[in-house]
Structure 1
């Protein structure tokens, strides 16, 4: 499936075949696409918790307003981020770059992000958003459907997955085999309302 088709056909699906299981190879292929998503300064500040254990999915459902897709989908991907990525050996993000590039860029990372909690959080949200779109489009290309979700108790989800300190949850995506056709799009705004050229 080409990229434009995947974008057009990706929809948020709520009903999944609870008996379908993705293979480990499929899951790895899917998540490898997430790792190709861009991040500022190549910090790779996203972290992904892939939940495929049914017992844990059921616990997540209970703190997600009992939405069935959380337990019925094949997997749940919880997109998290390391708020302090800029402080954790930033040299490793550029270890394969030429030495001149390393010397120029690595010192800039801390200067830009350290001691700026709002910017650190904003960057995690930007990074995880881009990674999430990679996941959803890759899943569609692989014959799976998805639903991005914020309808959950983030504190309780954090407890279930043992979220480390200095990390935050952005959102989660369920992935699986749909058992329903997507409903008609509910009301796209006109192109002219949301797209302008050169200025508002």
Structure 2
């Protein structure tokens, strides 16, 4: 699908067709395309929980203000940010070392800069996690549309409850969830509401 069409045709779908599954292969293709999105120092401080089973859906449904789409969609993704994803335990640093021909000074300099930027306060750590995962979230929805899969992001959820229910430690934060599936053609969406454009949101300085 043409990129412009992807942007114009993606909608937040409230009604999913329960009879249509999103295959593992399709989901893998979506994620593998979406992760081409940039992240700070290429640290990719994220992970995804793929909620498919009936039991897991029920748990997530109860922690999502009982939004029906959680049960209707064949799969819902829980997007998780790693608040300490900048530290030396991130395996991406090893990849960076290999990419730069084993030059430790390059990697150590990047590690020092990342730590200085993101490790000072809890607010800095949270901003680091959420800003990077936000990039991934948008990328997932547009990648999904490229493969013909509809989506709906959700932030009306019990973030802390989901973190605990799915056994995530305190270094991780739930950023949002995204339901994925196919629009129920027996239903009707409201027309797309207008977006504020350049003239309204851009201030030149």
Normalised to the residue count of structure 1, the TM-score between the two structures is: 0.90
Correspondences of 1:1-200 after superposition (within 5 Å): 1-90=1-90, 91-92=93-94, 94-98=96-100, 99-100=102-103, 101-179=106-184, 180-189=187-196, 191-196=198-203, 198-199=204-205
Q: Does structure 2 conserve the Cα–Cα contact (< 8 Å) formed by 1:79 and 1:171?
A: yes
Aligned-partner SS, 1:170: strand
Normalised to the residue count of structure 2, the TM-score between the two structures is: 0.88
Q: Does structure 1 conserve the Cα–Cα contact (< 8 Å) formed by 2:45 and 2:82?
A: yes
Moved over 6 A (4+): none
Q: For the residues of structure 1 that align with 2:160 and 2:83, how far apart are their CA atoms? A: 16
Q: For the residues of structure 2 that align with 1:150 and 1:144, how far apart are their CA atoms? A: 20
Q: Does structure 2 conserve the Cα–Cα contact (< 8 Å) formed by 1:76 and 1:174?
A: yes
Deviations 1:109-143 (A, max 9, x none): 22322233212211111111110111100111111
Q: Which blocks of at least 5 consecutive residues in structure 2 are unaligned?
A: none
Change (3 A) 1:54 1:110: same
Q: For the residues of structure 1 that align with 2:109 and 2:62, how far apart are their CA atoms? A: 48
Q: Does structure 1 conserve the Cα–Cα contact (< 8 Å) formed by 2:87 and 2:111?
A: no
Q: Which blocks of at least 5 consecutive residues in structure 1 are unaligned?
A: none
Q: For the residues of structure 2 that align with 1:103 and 1:155, how far apart are their CA atoms? A: 34
Q: Does structure 1 conserve the Cα–Cα contact (< 8 Å) formed by 2:88 and 2:111?
A: no
Structure 1 residue 174 displacement after superposition: 0.4
Deviations 1:47-78 (A, max 9, x none): 11111112211221122111110111011111
